[in-house]
Amino acid sequence: MSLKRGLPTLSALGVAGLLALAAPNAFATGNTGFYLGGGVGQTHGDGNFDDEAEHWKLVGGYNVGWLPFLDVGAELAYVNVGTLDGEANGHSASLDVESVQATGVLGWSLGPLGLYAKAGMADWDADRHGRGIGGDLSGTDPVYGVGARFGLFGLTGRLELERLDTDEIGDLDMVTVGAVYTF
């Protein structure tokens, strides 16, 4: 991700962090329970497929917010990345990627505001298309990221930066804006 594209995202995370520090202590924890949601965003590939594409994401998980200022949870996600253009074997090619991710989530909560980090594994499948190129690639690789959240009445808006760290197709950096509802 270039500095020009990443600066607004990093600025938003910085503002969210400052707001979290200013939140009153009366809001000590985040929501506890099961949640479902989704989001949309931008994926940037590297290596042979140094391109950008839109993606969409469905998430579900469980969060324990009863510890003061600390949220602990687990999350499952399905991510579908649009087409990344690039090169393979000296020819123009395209790559479509989808993944199922299982991550642990650890967050710092000050009521409706919070910051979190996640890490886990992603099982991914990729379809390569191009002249003289075909075939499916797949693997299981690490996925990790950071995010900021703002929630009220069970509905939480989220901004996430994540990386799917693969050797076969290159790293995929994702910026996602989404929402989840806690039951």
Tell me the per-residue pLDDT of 129-157, one tens digit each, with 9 for 90 and over: 887 677 788 999 999 999 999 998 889 99
CA 77 to chain centre: 9
pTM of the model as a whole: 0.80
> What is the domain partition of the chain in residue ranges?
3-36+44-78+85-95+113-138+150-182
Look at 73 and 66; give whichever has higher pLDDT: 73
For 91-138, the pLDDT digits (tens) are 788 989 999 999 999 999 887 899 999 999 999 999 988 876 777 889
Q: Distance (Å, rounded) from C-alpha 32 to C-alpha 73?
A: 9
pLDDT at 40: 98
pLDDT at 130: 80
SS3 label, residue 32: coil
